[in-house]
């Protein structure tokens, strides 16, 4: 079972739909109404941090989940979720000079696990006004835009992955494959 922690974002429903299309059971829980004990009881195989409004610090439960579960359960951070992972491990985020709301960009990747079987250049949907400024040293940059804005990352030693874009969007043609790659990892 996949646990999707909802950070009050309308895209969370799309993530759960795509997860079910991939053939996986999922449970959606509001991050602000969930405890670490609740997650223990659910015993998820994977956790997804949904996108959400504001800054990662507005959604502190993600930090608690990383502190408690990051050595045991694979986690995928989407948009705000990726930013939270980066900050938790010592990286920084900043305002993007060019907010990207409902726009597509070409990204390039290094064929890491999330991008297995996906062309080295592909289109993704972006909905964000913050971006990673300094990547945490415990992460590897795995995808980027032509102007080197971080679009995906993976942790050096833990099963933690982040994408700045929205794999659940119809504007991300290979998004379903990216989610499948995470679920099968």
pLDDT, one tens digit for every residue, the chain (185 residues): 999 999 998 899 999 999 999 999 999 999 999 999 999 999 999 999 999 999 999 999 999 999 999 999 999 999 999 999 999 999 999 998 777 777 889 999 999 999 999 999 999 999 878 999 999 999 999 999 999 999 999 999 999 999 999 999 999 999 999 999 999 99
Contact yes or no for 156/142 (Cβ under 8 A): no
Residue 18 is among the residues annotated as catalytic for this protein: no
**Helix axis angle, 80-88 relative to 61-69, nearest 10°?**
60
Residue 79 is among the residues annotated as catalytic for this protein: yes
Query: What is residue 100's predicted lDDT score, i.e. its pLDDT?
Result: 77
In terms of C-beta density within 10 A (0-12 exposed, 13-18 middle, 19 or more buried), how is residue 10 classed? Answer: exposed
Residue 168 is among the residues annotated as catalytic for this protein: yes
Q: Which of 59, 109, 128, 166 is catalytic?
A: 166
Q: Give the whole-angstrom CA distance, residue 53 versus residue 108.
A: 26
CATH number of 2-184: 3.40.50.880
Query: What is residue 129's predicted lDDT score, i.e. its pLDDT?
Result: 82
Q: What is the pTM of this model?
A: 0.96
Q: Which of 26, 79, 87, 122 is catalytic?
A: 79
Alpha-carbon distances of 152 from 21, 36, 68, 74, rounded to whole Å: 23, 26, 23, 15
Query: What is residue 21's predicted lDDT score, i.e. its pLDDT?
Result: 95
Alpha-carbon distances of 134 from 15, 60, 118, rounded to whole Å: 27, 20, 26
Q: Which of 26, 87, 109, 168 is catalytic?
A: 168
Domain borders along the chain are 2-184
Direct distance between the N- and C-terminal alpha carbons of the chain, in angstroms, rounded to an integer = 14
Contact yes or no for 123/129 (Cβ under 8 A): no
């Amino acid at each position: 079972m996949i646990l999707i922690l909802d950070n009050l974002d309308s895209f969370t429903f799309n993530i759960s739909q795509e997860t079910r299309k991939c053939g996986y059971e999922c449970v959606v829980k509001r991050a602000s109404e969930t405890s670490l004990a609740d997650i223990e009881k659910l015993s998820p195989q994977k956790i997804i941090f949904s996108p959400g409004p504001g800054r990662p610090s507005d959604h502190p439960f993600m930090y608690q989940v990383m502190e408690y579960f990051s050595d045991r359960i694979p986690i995928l951070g989407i948009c705000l979720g990726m930013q939270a992972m980066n900050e938790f491990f010592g990286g920084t985020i900043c305002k993007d000079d060019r907010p990207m709301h409902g726009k597509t960009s070409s990204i390039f990747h290094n064929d890491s696990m999330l991008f297995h079987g996906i062309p080295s250049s592909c289109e993704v949907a972006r909905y964000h006004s913050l971006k990673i400024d300094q990547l945490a040293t415990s992460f590897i940059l795995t995808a980027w835009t032509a102007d080197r804005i971080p679009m995906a990352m993976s942790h050096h030693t833990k099963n933690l992955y982040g994408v700045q874009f929205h794999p659940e969007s119809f504007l991300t043609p290979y998004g379903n494959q990216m989610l499948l790659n995470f679920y099968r990892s």
